Structure 1
Amino acid sequence: MRKEKDALGEVLVPEDKYYGAQTQRASENFNIGNERFPQEFIQAHAMVKKAAARVNHRLGLLDAQRAQWIEQAADEVIAGKFDQHFPLVIWQSGSGTQFNMNVNEVIANRAIELAGGQIGSKSPVHPNDHVNMSQSTNDTIPTSMHIASALSLKKHLLPELSALQKELERKAVEFAAIVKIGRTHLQDATPLTLGQEFSGFAAQIEMAREAIENTTDHLYELAIGGTAVGTGLNTKQGYDRLMADELSKITGLPFKVSRNKFAALAAHDAIVELSGALKTLAAALMKIANDIRWLGSGPRSGLGELILPANEPGSSIMPGKVNPTQSEMVTQVVCQVYGNDVTIGMAGSQGNFELNVFKPLMAYNILQSIRLLGDACRSFRERCISGIQPNRKKIDQNLKNSLMLVTALNRHIGYDKAAEIALKAWREDKTLKQAALELGYLSEKEFDAWVKPEEMIAPEK
């Protein structure tokens, strides 16, 4: 152990750790759960420290040597070299002060090491005076929330959504000629093609992706430069713009200064908005996953119209059973995302005066939702969608047995007579043709000419 000092006195810190006294105190004071800050968030915060070192040097506030040490240490944090030195859980100060100091201390101590100094000495690099220069927890944490979310969308979720959409579109083309019975209210309806059904799935993913992309403009607005309450105390004029520019260079994303830093610190509406868009995606995935597992139900006593990939044995007691596990995985992820959205909505509404103090919770939940949805989309595409095959025999059987093909007769004999045919066929367990001929409403030739499922899947030319 080594002795370090903070404003409250001496603290013993493990000799092999790069964090310092404030992190050690927090790890003891907040021993709650095991929900730790995601790596994406740690990396984003280190990017803020890296950018600040550059900007502060450019503004003449930080000498070149310290700036270089801080930047190198921040790069190593971004690369994941010191992941084990970030032990804090999200259940801490609602501003994220302890996490911010954890990052400051790790970067400072690594910078001290690079300078040939003694870790824990705060010389020649101080965690507050140098690493946290021109910053406050209150503006850096929301900045990192936006950076981490935007990068996670770009690198993980949006590419997976595009890939899933393309795979569903490919299946729509592959299944374009397969006519099947439609279903509304869980009851038989008029025909459509399996391709048309899958095109609906693809369109849902496309619209959900567009909804998420539409949130990024607000996400690109950064709180940095607001410091403690939004006024920019302890910064130089132009610092905020330079920080946004620098972070854009580091990330490749078009970050800009928030239009109002008081709102950026006191509320996190952009995160609430993004969470709502993620919920839209979750709702689409719930619909798609449920439809696919129902269409694949059986294999003999269910709908059985789709043959789903057999990825693993489905039962510990029933031999040969195969379950729609990928759909079940997706629907569980959706439930978690729904819960995260409720949490984010509640947390986002709890800003008091100049600060929202639910930042760590919001950061954790939004990044978990992004990560889970991206992973789920990839797995669902690779292990379910791409391997789906139609059960043509069952599709044809269900189509021919449907009473709703009678809808094709509406224009020829009227709704009432068509309904009478359908009800007679249902009650007497007869085919539509048998019921129609027995009632004498049309001839066999007319029935065959008018009731053609393949001509019921689009407007008449």
Structure 2
Amino acid sequence: MTEPAADPDFQPEMRTEKDSMGERQLPAAAYYGIQTLRAMENFAISGLKPLPVYVDAGLLIKKAAAIANAELGCIPTDISQAIVQAADEILAGALRDQFVVDVYQAGAGTSHHMNLNEVLANRALEILGDQKGNYQRVNPNDHVNYGQSTNDVIPTAIRIGGLLALGQTLYPALDSAIAALTAKADEFQSIVRSGRTHLQDAVPVRLGENFRAWAQILRDHRRRIETTAADLTELGLGGSATGTGLNTHPQYRHRAAALLSDFIGQTIRPAPHLMAAMQSMAPFVAVSSSLRNLAQDGVKISHDLRLLDSGPKTGFKEIQLPPVQPGSSIMPGKYNPVMAEMTSMVCFQVMGYDQAIALAAQAGQLELNVMMPLIAYNLIHSIELLGQTLSALSQRCLAGITARPQRCQDYAEGSLALVTALNPKIGYLKAAAIAKESLETGKSLRQLVLEQGLLDQAEIEAVLDLAKMSRLPE
């Protein structure tokens, strides 16, 4: 059946809104308002929209503010209840397509902030039985935004958004990766492989201890991230425009912080100096730096996995990463370490985001840092990228790794670095000469030591015991 042709003359129903710059028409069905419309026109830059968890953070702040301000007699109770209901509906998944302002927008995040205020105001109007756009009844500025400013709401939203993203995404993913690596460490503990330093043969190590070391590296990064994230729990909310608290109730910041604590299940408190909390981006830089540090080791671990899996005929091939897709458009039967490769790419992106955050953080002047939209997106996106990456790596790579014990054993037995264990028995110079002769003649270290009468068979076996040599100290 043929669909009817679209009517080229069709015009959607419109409504008129007015702000300090004049009147504009916008779709009657839209929950955003005139200031959001202007931002959409001004900032058609990247096509990137606010991250959902960042929107959630703003909604939680608006919900807390509405409750606190009603309790303190600053806004009518019925309007507060409508704002809270609107926020809860959106948090549950409604109207998510109404948050439309590009990531690269007006300084400090005023455009995104007004997008929040307008959507909540218009939905609250519907809940109260009124029409969208009737801001005489519920006003985005006078009610939804009572006692607030972009300058204290946005840095608070970055804090809350960061804490939510860490708890929902990154911490569980780190725990999953640590568990997967620890399981493989136990599975591979008895396998001895040749160590390598400078990409040259070194004394033997346990394959299981390689995995246990990676698990410990991630465990240490989790602790470092948690330490830096503690500063996110101190809020400048209640500072209003410049940190003085103008147009706020004296108890507002304390009540709002208590409500936010309940909402996210973490202890939130007002910062000891609201002006400082609004001006300095140092907490975000600290968290970002800890993410960059994790990313750097993420690259190291993913590169180690690729090296150990290299081959299958001309590389190390001491482990086998699970093949998850064909690796070549031209070479049949080729499988690449794609999950490890993807991990490195994400980690490089996080490092780049960290550099942008550092530059943006130092670009504040006097009472405000106008680069907050960039910081918000880069920080929260970094957290989510690393979380999603580690989760995928754990499920589709780490959990399915298998070892190739014989390949590991052959390399460990054939390594000239075993001569290191002979040092206490025959001396460094004699051991070096034995290693050189082994390389030139192809004879094994054991054979040369026996031929030259340096040690007997029992002594050689005791000294060149790979299991003993690769055992970590207690």
CA deviation vs aligned residue, 1:138-193 (integer Å, no higher than 9, x gap): 00000010001001101111011011111111111111111111111111111111
- Give yes or no for the alignment of 1:42 onto 2:77: no
Query: What SS class does the counterpart of residue 82 from structure 2 fall into?
Result: helix
- CA–CA distance in 1 between the matches of 2:42 and 2:463? 77
CA deviation vs aligned residue, 1:393-444 (integer Å, no higher than 9, x gap): 2111111111111111111111111111111111222211233234443334
- CA–CA distance in 2 between the matches of 1:204 and 1:459? 17
Equivalent residue for 1:403, pick from 404, 416, 422: 416
CA deviation vs aligned residue, 1:267-323 (integer Å, no higher than 9, x gap): 211111000111111112111111011100011110000011011111010000000
8 A contact 2:419–2:435 mirrored in 1: yes
- CA–CA distance in 1 between the matches of 2:472 and 2:213? 17
- Give yes or no for the alignment of 1:168 onto 2:181: yes
Residue 44 (structure 2) aligns with = 31
- CA–CA distance in 2 between the matches of 1:385 and 1:279? 22
CA deviation vs aligned residue, 1:363-385 (integer Å, no higher than 9, x gap): 00011101110011111001111
Scaled by the length of structure 1, what TM-score is found? 0.98
* Aligned-residue offset at 1:459: 6.4
Residue 10 (structure 2) aligns with = none
- Give yes or no for the alignment of 1:376 onto 2:386: no
- The aligned length equals 461
- Give yes or no for the alignment of 1:229 onto 2:242: yes
- Give yes or no for the alignment of 1:304 onto 2:351: no
* Aligned-residue offset at 1:460: 8.0
Unpaired segments of 5 or more residues in structure 1? none
- Equivalent residues in 2 for 1:310-389 (5 A)? 310-389=323-402
* Identity rate, percent: 44
Q: Give the letter aligned to residue 120 of structure 2.
A: I
CA deviation vs aligned residue, 1:105-154 (integer Å, no higher than 9, x gap): 00000001111111111131100000000000100000010001001101
- Equivalent residues in 2 for 1:51-130 (5 A)? 51-130=64-143
Residue 243 (structure 1) aligns with = 256
* Aligned-residue offset at 1:342: 0.3
- Equivalent residues in 2 for 1:436-447 (5 A)? 436-447=449-460
Equivalent residue for 2:233, pick from 184, 195, 220: 220
Q: Give the letter aligned to residue 103 of structure 1.
A: L
8 A contact 1:139–1:223 mirrored in 2: yes
8 A contact 2:206–2:471 mirrored in 1: no
Q: Give the letter aligned to residue 431 of structure 2.
A: A
8 A contact 1:11–1:25 mirrored in 2: no
8 A contact 1:421–1:439 mirrored in 2: no
Query: What SS class does the counterpart of residue 17 from structure 2 fall into?
Result: strand
Scaled by the length of structure 2, what TM-score is found? 0.95
Unpaired segments of 5 or more residues in structure 2? 1-13
- CA–CA distance in 1 between the matches of 2:49 and 2:403? 44
Residue 204 (structure 1) aligns with = 217
Runs of 4+ in 1 over 6 A off after TM superposition: none
- CA–CA distance in 2 between the matches of 1:292 and 1:193? 15
Equivalent residue for 1:154, pick from 167, 170, 175: 167
8 A contact 1:23–1:102 mirrored in 2: yes
Equivalent residue for 1:8, pick from 14, 18, 21: 21
Residue 260 (structure 1) aligns with = 273
- CA–CA distance in 1 between the matches of 2:396 and 2:175? 16
CA deviation vs aligned residue, 1:62-102 (integer Å, no higher than 9, x gap): 11111111111111222221111111102111210111111
8 A contact 1:115–1:124 mirrored in 2: no
* Aligned-residue offset at 1:224: 0.3
Equivalent residue for 1:425, pick from 438, 443, 456: 438
- CA–CA distance in 2 between the matches of 1:439 and 1:275? 59
Q: Give the letter aligned to residue 393 of structure 2.
A: F
Query: What SS class does the counterpart of residue 31 from structure 2 fall into?
Result: coil
Query: What SS class does the counterpart of residue 96 from structure 1 fall into?
Result: helix
